[in-house]
A = this chain, B = another copy of it.
Amino acid sequence: MYTCILQVIVVVWSMKIESSSAPRSLCPLSKALELIGDKWSLVIVRDMCLGKKRYGDFQQSPEGIPTNILADRLKKLEEHGIIGKRSYQQKPVRYEYFLTPKGADLLPVMQQLIIWMKKYDPDCWTPPEGFYDATPESLLQAYSEIE
């Protein structure tokens, strides 16, 4: 009897711990929003499109992302395969971040968001030259040229 109750508790707990909980639905829009539907994730991806790589780079963006949120988002974006990291020095070991193909493929989403916002809020900034012409492939190309 009590054993049974304990088992239920354990199961409920393990459900909370393992695999970041079940999706709300299998709708692709809803699932996408569960991954990147917040105010900061795409700002970080934007910065990476613009060539930023390091923790300090992201911190210096004009939006002023809180440092604990930045650390959390970098971890989640990596868990979801949107970004990757590699160490750029030992002693102490430090990492720089880069877009994976999955992350680069978010470019069309951001382009559409920007087109939409520019249309209804003309005061906001104009993206850098060639931004609308960029493709996920051209972003990844930029990485391979560096190495």
Task: Check if A31 is an interface residue, CB within 8 A of chain B.
Answer: yes
Chain copies in complex: 2
Is the Cβ of A120 less than 8 Å from the Cβ of B102?
yes
Is the Cβ of B118 less than 8 Å from the Cβ of A63?
no
Complex CA–CA separation, A110 to B25 (angstroms)? 16
Is the Cβ of A117 less than 8 Å from the Cβ of B64?
no
Closest CB in chain B relative to A33 CB, distance in Å: 5
Is the Cβ of B31 less than 8 Å from the Cβ of A124?
yes
Residues of B within 8 A of A33 (CB): 38-40, 42-43, 113
How many residues of A are counted as interface, with CB atoms below 8 angstroms from the partner's CB atoms?
Answer: 45
Is the Cβ of B27 less than 8 Å from the Cβ of A62?
yes
Dominant SS among interface residues on chain A:
helix
Task: Check if A137 is an interface residue, CB within 8 A of chain B.
Answer: no
> 8 Å CB contacts to B: which residues of A25-41?
25-35, 37-40
Is the Cβ of B37 less than 8 Å from the Cβ of A39?
yes
Task: Check if A86 is an interface residue, CB within 8 A of chain B.
Answer: no
Complex CA–CA separation, A40 to B30 (angstroms)? 8
One of B27, B34, B62 near A24 (C-beta < 8 A)? B62
Is the Cβ of B109 less than 8 Å from the Cβ of A63?
no
Residues of B within 8 A of A111 (CB): 112
Task: Check if A127 is an interface residue, CB within 8 A of chain B.
Answer: yes
Residues of chain A touching chain B, judged by Cβ–Cβ distance below 8 Å, are 24-35, 37-40, 42-43, 46, 61-64, 81, 102, 105-106, 108-121, 123-125, 127
